[in-house]
Amino acid sequence: MAPGPAAAITGRCLCGSVCYAAAGEPLFALLCYCTDCQRASGTGHVPILGVARAGFTVTGPAVAFRSVGSSGHMAVRNHCARCRSLMFGMPEAAPDLVTIYAGTLDDPGVCRPTRAQFLRSRQPWDPVPADVLHFNDGAPDHDPQSDPAGVQPRSVLLPGGG
């Protein structure tokens, strides 16, 4: 018997006016410590779950805010028009990708970060889990767990390390 379709990844805003669903498995999960994520979220980092845009649907009044991201491309962050919860991003630098902010997931346990990026911008009061790969800049596009080529030792990647 063929396996059934993967369960959808679902989430919603604080007031429940905006809901989303993503078909398929997550593409990645990471912790982003960049200054843009700090300012957008009001905290030290944002846990992000990457999913394919092709299977992503939204219902309700989501509003997009555009700003220039660290890639030089527009970063598009979407929030609820009613409660203003920051929910997901659609970066123009990666047009086939949606970045879900893990706090909006119906099951936040589906987000299991394997990488932490932009640690050069990390605040000293916001610790980084020891069990994820650490990157001072953006995490590589490839999966460093299965393809460690080019991944530097952790001590080099920590702020002030090396």
pLDDT exceeds 60 at position 38 = yes
Res 4: pLDDT = 46
Planar angle of CA 5, 32, 80, nearest 5 degrees: 65
At 89, list the tokens.
């991003």
In this prediction, residue 73 has a pLDDT band, given cuts at 50, 70 and 90, of: confident
Quick one: CATH architecture of 9-157?
Answer: Alpha-Beta Complex (3.90)
DSSP at 161:
-
At 161, list the tokens.
């390390």
Round the average pLDDT of the chain to a whole number and report it: 84
Res 19: pLDDT = 98
How far apart are alpha carbons 99 and 152 in whole angstroms? 25
Q: What percent of the chain has pLDDT over 90?
A: 68
At 72, list the tokens.
């030089």
Q: List pLDDT tens digits, range 99-109.
A: 999 999 999 99
| In the chain, where the domains are located | 9-157
pTM above 0.75, yes or no: yes
Res 113: pLDDT = 96
Q: How many DSSP H helices and E strands does the chain contain?
A: 2, 11
pLDDT exceeds 60 at position 153 = no
Half-sphere exposure of 149 (CA within 13 A, CB side): 3
Q: What contacts 147, CB < 8 A, 6 or more positions away?
A: none
Higher pLDDT, 143 or 103: 103
Amino acid at residue number 122: R
